[in-house]
Amino acid sequence: MVSISPVLDLLAVSVALLSLAPLRDVARLAREPAAKRAWQALLAAVAFCILLVAVKAVRGLPPPLDTATALQLILQLVGAAIITTFAQLARRTALDVVRLARFEAQALTDGLTGLGNRRLFTERLEEETARARETGAPLSLVVLDIDHFKRVNDTYGHAIGDVVLKHVADTVMAGMRNADTVCRIGGEEIVIIMPRIDPAQAAEMADALRATVGAMAVSVGDGRTVAATVSLGFATRQPEEDGESLFRRADAALYAAKRDGRDRVILAA
């Protein structure tokens, strides 16, 4: 009988080796630590099996090629092909998921400030309002507007206005909790959704944010700086109130803050 099992073993090893790079890429792309460890463990297991088959092919005594041996070798080849195909499909799927996540993030992000956009604000406010209705947890909303922003644009130009807006946005983000959602919903208007926090503490955070922005000087180049202040409207969800009503009350409080002299926080009625 002819013995060609080492050749077929090495062929199976060659096919299976093609699975290692895709499995490595999937392990790198995984975001969740548990999933990353699972893919790394699978990669290690496949590599170990490939090593065992390679050692068998190189050092083992090949059995005669009878029907049982032939069937075993065919199964090894088919198994190696399946593993390689699975690994390649997994990598392609992971890359598609990453692309979709990037597209989704772009669709929900304001391009200038990096904050969420109006779409994210609408979705998150609806989600948090529903959660507050179910759990009874407090939900507060802050609407913020840069004072005399048109004057900044008219005096220094829109490029400098963008620098000021970006600086204010960064300052707002730095002063918020991880649970809060900060979005730019148009022009220089920024909203902050603050779930599961005592309303008094949320109002204190809003006023501290006002003070922080007012104390800063934004460098705009050539040794020039621009000062900025903000007006804020603050509202806490009332029993059975929906998100749209909550936003209207906070927005009305913002306009009251502007009417009363700006650079202040007004609590909604």
Q: pLDDT tens for residues 105-161?
A: 667 889 899 999 999 999 999 999 999 999 999 999 999 999 999 999 998 899 999
At residue 3, the pLDDT reads: 47
pLDDT over 60 (residue 267): yes
What is the CATH number that goes with domain 118-267?
3.30.70.270
At residue 124, the pLDDT reads: 94
Nearest Cα neighbor of 183 from 119, 263, 90 is: 119
Q: pTM above the 0.95 mark?
A: no
Active site residues: 188
At residue 1, the pLDDT reads: 36
pLDDT over 70 (residue 25): yes
Nearest Cα neighbor of 143 from 185, 202, 190 is: 190
Ordered by start, the domain boundaries in the chain are 5-107, 118-267
At residue 125, the pLDDT reads: 97
Q: Which helix (H) or strand (E) holds 20?
A: helix 20-29
Locate 58 and state its tokens: 């190189």
At residue 89, the pLDDT reads: 65
Taking the C-alpha atoms of residue 118 and residue 120, their distance in angstroms, rounded to an integer, is 5
The CB density around residue 137, as the number of other CB atoms within 10 Å, is 13
- pLDDT tens-digit series, residues 182-205: 999 989 999 999 999 999 999 999
